[in-house]
Amino acid sequence: MELLIIVVPVFVLFLFILNLFYKGNNVQSCLLFVLTLLPFMEMKITKEAYGGLKVFDAICYYCLVFLLKEFIAIKVKNNIYFLLFLLFSLIVFFGGLASEYPGKTYMQVVKVLSIFIFARFLLTEMYKDNAFHEKVIAALKISYLIALGFLFIQIIIGLKFTLYKELGPNTVDPIFHMVRYPGVFYDSQASGQYLAMSSFLFLFIPEGSPRKVYMFNYTIFLLGIIGMGLAGSRAAIGGFMLGLFIIIFMAAKQYRVYGIVLIVVGFIAYVFVSPSSGVFERAGNLSDDYLFRKSIWTKALDISQDHPYLGIGWGNYQTYVTRHAQDQYLEMAEGELMYFTQPENGYLKILVEVGYLGFFIFLLFLIIPLLKGFIRYIQGVYDRHVIILIASLISWMVAFYTVYSITDYRLLIMVTSLIVLIVSYSTHKRHADQVAG
């Protein structure tokens, strides 16, 4: 299956060119292309020696160059996010200057610009076209179906059906003799996070939809629960359960009934399809697992206290511990060591790499939209559907506690899209009211 690694990114870029011809060279067509084919946005188009650029980078920089007028012409609200991005970028830049390894940090800055370009285009388009909100949700649903289909094919064919030359070390668990299926991802934990947060979108169903639309969306939601179990990520399942709890008790009465039924049926379906996957058997190992992680977290906190202001430089965790904390490794085989790329905690990795101020800014990117969404919902300004978006984002935030996952563009795009969908929800709500009227 190594041929997929070469053929797929070339084919996706070819489809992008066709998309420009048939859908037009405009912002919406480019954004919807990215969101629809999200599972393939992480695929490399250059070697690491040349920056390791991905399909997503190529599309974003194309849009910046050829759609520059749209990028700079439209003024939008919520300038607070632009200010936060500017401050965060400055911290990363100066952190690179102060770092022992500036080259790697500055390569990260280039990639940060890609997600900023995407977020800027997405937000401006939301404010320019009120109906774009539903189009984004629909595109993300299609991408989820692609990822879920890939996962189930992988279950049938085996782990050789993958987009990577080799998979993450936790894909096959030698202790419990279980396989944790990663689907389109390198790592099964990332797959679990994506399946958890994206599954909630299938509860986002327009009012007045035919019964078959409801049945289709709920069926996919159930299949997503099975996929999460097969990914074997406890943190992702925990985040999913919290998100579902929020929806059941905040969104609407019917979700309380549907939610309980979905949980029960999803659990039964999971056990029936894969009774020996072992994700729940691993619960007995929670104590040892926690102690192992705690030792890594403690070391990460020590490093952050040594570099409190600008951190060690973004993207430098593995390089730093290889030189300064050489007990931070896993023995993959006899004499084969792999130093940690992250401290088994997404928040701690950001804290260590960009310092306390950068970490605080990162949290504001998440907290401000959540608070705005909750407050506007309680005030009656937003309808119950915004709770689904909030629950989706919170489910990822819970799982992010155990693994730094946004190094993968697909998860970063999902998180960014959810933030933008919540921030621009007032525009969507006004449009929905106009249509209903």
pLDDT in tens, 116-143: 999 999 998 998 888 899 999 999 999 9
Q: Is 167 helix (H, G, I), strand (E, B) or coil?
A: coil
CA distances from 102 to 43, 302, 304, 433 (A): 25, 21, 18, 51
Q: pLDDT band at 403, cuts 50/70/90?
A: confident
Distance CA 196, CA 202 (A): 11
Assess contact for 45 and 55: CB atoms under 8 A.
yes
Q: What is the pLDDT of residue 48?
A: 72
Distance CA 110, CA 271 (A): 44
Type of residue numbered 187? D
Tokens 């076209």 sit on residue: 129
* Half-sphere exposure in the Cβ direction for 336 (13 Å, CA): 4
The pLDDT > 70 percentage for the chain reads: 82
Arithmetic mean of pLDDT, 172-194: 84
pLDDT-derived band at 205 (thresholds 50, 70, 90) equals: confident
Q: Work out the burial of residue 370: count CB atoms within 10 Å of its CB; fewer than 13 is exposed, 13-18 middle, 19 or more buried.
A: middle
What is the model's pLDDT at position 278?
Answer: 45
pLDDT tens, residue by residue, 4-25: 788 999 999 999 999 999 998 9
pLDDT higher than 50, residue 436 = no
Mean confidence (pLDDT) of the chain: 84
pLDDT one-digit tens code per residue, 36-69: 999 999 999 988 767 788 999 999 999 999 998 8
Q: Amino acid identity of 131?
A: A
Least confident of 178-182, 355-359, 410-414, 424-428: 424-428
Euclidean distance between the first and final Cα of the chain, in Å? 53
| CA 336/CA 339 separation, integer angstroms | 10
Instruction: Please provide the DSSP assignment of 125-164 as one string.
Output: HHHH-TTHHHHHHHHHHHHHHHHHHHHHHHHHH-TTSSSS
